């Protein structure tokens, strides 16, 4: 009986084992099939991407043969050269820094999005979809042109024709591609008059259009350039789109319509504006998150820094760019600024004016480096407002506060965010806010404030920034961000952001040029500092 039971158990165990082996083998076979399918899908995607790339190149070449209805003459970059030897020296220094940053990128990271100036290799952030799409080349084009770095500009042009390809297989950010690529190419077109740039801008902008297929017309944040599938960032308040992202398309899209004659771009931008005009604005505030399916706000946070910033900038700039014809934009800007002033602008105990972060009816006494562009924006919006001097003064105060944040660091470079509580004002409190990544907003405000007020302190502050960048950020083959601006001996993040070349160095160069070079009466900068001509 014992033997019988043991046999029975033995054969049951054996059957179970055989069954397990069978299942295991089936699973292996299945995963091999899945792997083969995955490889096939990847290969198909590569094939589609290659085919698209070739088709686009053909379209580009064909378009170049045809006479264009929209033409511009090349801009004379020699205008606005300073005569004062001190200014000449300072401007030449900035030009040399640009050349250094460019040469390092060209030598070690050509075609990659950005340079790692210490490890001497390419770098890409996920905003670019992790593909090598030459963000630095496109972002730098107009700065090279303005600085008269002609050989470098022509190298960049060649690369745009032969290799600029946005058919990456991963999702790309609608906002980043718009401000850096579409904006950069359009500005290169307006300055050089070369149709290559205009046609390439259209090819890239067209890849963003599927993101607008939502019930409200508010676009998603990310789009796949091959499949056209779009989605929002997983972290953005339950599937919401972000105000600074979908609110910063108007300048580029209205310019695209102007140069191509195709109304589709401006229509998309106006649809967004309609939604924003109609949505309820408690206390007159726009919040950072909006659901593209329902048109309702998400989390009730408002900011003139991260997540909100360039939406406000684009309202006033749309008015200026249109030659003051876009009165809707002006009205929206004036009302928004009044609400920001009433709800978010505070004066610290030490007398510093700052724009705080509005979070569910409370204002956090903290300002981001990103918010520092607002000094320039407020001064730019002064003309045509109810009280011109008031807004110039407000812009000046915000700019002074941002300068304080630089002054308080031993490196004379400002942190990512700084607080206003306790006795140490305009200083970063949290350790993860002490970094500086070559951002432009503070020098951007120096530049605009200088052009509007002619107060020499803005040039002095700009020169302080040049010296600090040169002394602390210049490393190996380029410029690097710094992990903690309060450490006398800096440690580096080893990334040369493309906006150093697009914005920071461009604004500094213009700060030491005369007003005729990219006059503010004739040009409007997009949020990545790419200039577009004012419509007359």
Nearest approach in angstroms of CB 492 to ligand DMJ is: 18
Site string for ligand DMJ, 157-196 (x = CB under 6 A): ----------------------------------------
User: Rounded to the nearest 10 degrees, how much is the dihedral formed by the CA atoms of 121, 134, 484, 236?
Assistant: -130
Residue number with CB closer to ligand DMJ (303 or 310):
310
Minimal distance, residue 310 CB to ligand DMJ, in Å: 4
Q: Which is nearer to ligand DMJ, 370 or 495 (CB)?
A: 370
Q: Which of 122, 298, 368, 440 binds ligand DMJ (CB under 6 A)?
A: 440
Task: For residue 216, state whether it binds ligand DMJ (rule: CB under 6 A).
Answer: no
Residue list 347-406, contact with ligand DMJ (CB under 6 A):
370
Alpha helices by DSSP H, listed for 279-424, are: 309-321, 327-343, 373-380, 388-407
Q: Which is nearer to ligand DMJ, 174 or 370 (CB)?
A: 370
- To ligand DMJ, the closest distance from the beta carbon of 203 in angstroms equals 22
Q: Which two tokens stand for residue 182?
A: 């579409």
If one asks whether residue 499 binds ligand DMJ (CB under 6 A), the answer comes out as yes
Residue number with CB closer to ligand DMJ (420 or 499): 499
The residue among 199 and 371 lying less far from ligand DMJ, judged by its C-beta, is 371
Residue 249 CB, nearest distance to ligand DMJ (Å)? Answer: 12
In whole angstroms, what is the distance from residue 277 CA to residue 245 CA? 17
Q: Using the rule CB under 6 A, is 435 a contact of ligand DMJ?
A: no
Closest CA to 526 of 262, 256, 340: 256
- State the catalytic residues: 416
Residue 114 is a binding residue for ligand DMJ (CB under 6 A): no
Q: Does 439 contact ligand DMJ by CB under 6 A? A: yes
Alpha-carbon gap, residue 293 to 213, rounded angstroms:
10
CB of 439 to ligand DMJ, least distance (A): 4
What is the SS3 assignment for 419?
Answer: strand
Strand partners, 531: 525
How far is it, in rounded angstroms, from Cα 399 to Cα 201? 34
- Distance separating alpha carbons of residues 349 and 5, to the nearest angstrom: 88
As measured in angstroms, the least distance from the Cβ of 497 to ligand DMJ is 7
Based on CB atoms, which residue is closest to ligand DMJ, 392 or 442?
442
What percent of the residues of the chain are helix, what percent strand, and what percent coil, each to the nearest 5?
A: 55, 10, 35
In whole angstroms, what is the distance from residue 27 CA to residue 368 CA?
52
* Chain position whose Cβ is nearest to ligand DMJ: 527
CA torsion through residues 431, 432, 437, 440, sign:
negative
Q: Give least dist CB 355 to ligand DMJ, A.
A: 15
- With contacts defined by CB under 6 A, how many residues of the chain interact with ligand DMJ? 8
Q: How far is the CB of 127 from ligand DMJ (least distance, A)?
A: 9
Give the x/- contact pattern for ligand DMJ in 505-534, rule: CB under 6 A: ----------------------xx------
Closer residue to ligand DMJ in complex, CB, 164/370:
370
Find the length of the chain. 536
518: left (phi over 0), alpha (psi -120 to 50) or beta: left
Nearer to ligand DMJ, 49 or 253 (CB): 253
Concatenating the DSSP letter of every residue in 450-497 gives HHHH--THHHHHHHHHHHHIIIIIEETTEE--BS-TT-SS--B---B-
Distance of CA 411 to the CA centre of its chain: 25
Helices 195-208 and 2-65, packing angle to 10 deg: 150
Q: Which of 335, 236, 215, 239 is nearest to 283 (CA)?
A: 335
Residue 279 has φ and ψ, to the nearest 5°, of: -65, 145
Q: Which residues would be at the binding site for ligand DMJ (CB under 6 A)?
A: 310, 370, 439-440, 499, 503, 527-528
């Amino acid at each position: 009986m014992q033997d019988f039971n043991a046999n029975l158990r033995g054969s049951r165990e054996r059957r179970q084992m055989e069954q397990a082996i069978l299942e295991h083998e089936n699973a292996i076979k299945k995963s091999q099939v899945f792997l083969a399918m995955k490889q096939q899908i990847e290969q198909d995607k590569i094939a589609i991407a290659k085919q698209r790339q070739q088709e686009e190149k053909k379209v580009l070449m064909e378009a170049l043969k045809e006479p264009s209805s929209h033409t511009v003459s090349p801009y004379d970059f020699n205008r606005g050269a300073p005569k004062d030897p001190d200014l000449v020296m300072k401007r030449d220094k900035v030009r040399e820094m640009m050349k250094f940053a460019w040469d390092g990128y060209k030598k070690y990271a050509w075609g990659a999005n950005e340079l790692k100036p210490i490890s001497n290799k390419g770098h890409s952030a996920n905003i670019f979809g992790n593909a090598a799409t030459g963000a630095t080349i496109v972002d730098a084009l107009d700065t090279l042109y303005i600085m008269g770095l002609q050989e470098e500009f022509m190298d960049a042009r060649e690369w745009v024709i032969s290799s600029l390809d946005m058919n990456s297989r991963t999702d790309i950010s609608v906002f980043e591609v718009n401000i850096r690529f579409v904006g950069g190419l359009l500005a290169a077109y307006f300055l050089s008059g070369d149709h290559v740039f205009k046609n390439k801008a259209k090819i890239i902008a067209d890849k963003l259009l599927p993101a607008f297929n939502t019930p409200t017309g508010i676009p998603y944040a990310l789009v796949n350039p091959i499949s056209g599938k779009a989605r929002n960032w997983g972290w953005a308040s339950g599937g919401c789109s972000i105000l600074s992202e979908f609110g910063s398309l108007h300048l580029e899209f209205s310019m695209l319509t102007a140069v191509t004659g195709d109304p589709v771009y401006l229509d998309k931008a106006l649809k967004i504006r309609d939604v924003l005009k109609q949505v309820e604005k408690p206390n007159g505030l726009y919040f950072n998150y909006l659901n593209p399916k329902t048109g309702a706000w998400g989390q009730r946070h408002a900011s003139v820094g991260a997540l909100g910033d360039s939406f406000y900038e684009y309202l006033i700039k749309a008015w200026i760019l249109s030659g003051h014809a876009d009165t809707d934009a002006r009205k929206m800007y004036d009302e928004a600024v009044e609400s920001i002033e009433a709800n978010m602008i505070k004066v610290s105990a030490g007398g510093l004016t700052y724009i705080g972060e509005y979070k569910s009816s409370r204002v956090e006494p903290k300002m981001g480096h990103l918010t520092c562009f607002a000094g320039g924006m407020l001064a730019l919006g002064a003309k045509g407002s109810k009280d011109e001097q008031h807004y110039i003064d407000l812009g000046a105060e915000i700019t002074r506060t941002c300068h304080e944040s630089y002054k308080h660091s031993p490196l004379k470079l400002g942190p990512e965010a700084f607080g206003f509580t306790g006795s140490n004002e305009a200083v970063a409190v949290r350790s993860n806010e002490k970094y500086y990544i070559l951002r432009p907003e503070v020098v951007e405000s120096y530049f605009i404030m200088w052009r509007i007020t002619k107060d020499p302190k803005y040039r002095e502050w700009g020169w302080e920034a040049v010296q600090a960048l040169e002394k602390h950020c210049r490393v190996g083959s380029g410029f690097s961000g710094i992990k903690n601006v309060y450490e006398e001996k800096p440690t580096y993040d080893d990334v040369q952001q493309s906006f150093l070349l697009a914005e920071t160095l461009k604004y500094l160069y213009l700060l030491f040029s005369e007003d005729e070079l990219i006059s503010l009466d004739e040009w409007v900068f997009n949020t990545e500092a790419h200039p577009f001509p004012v419509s007359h």
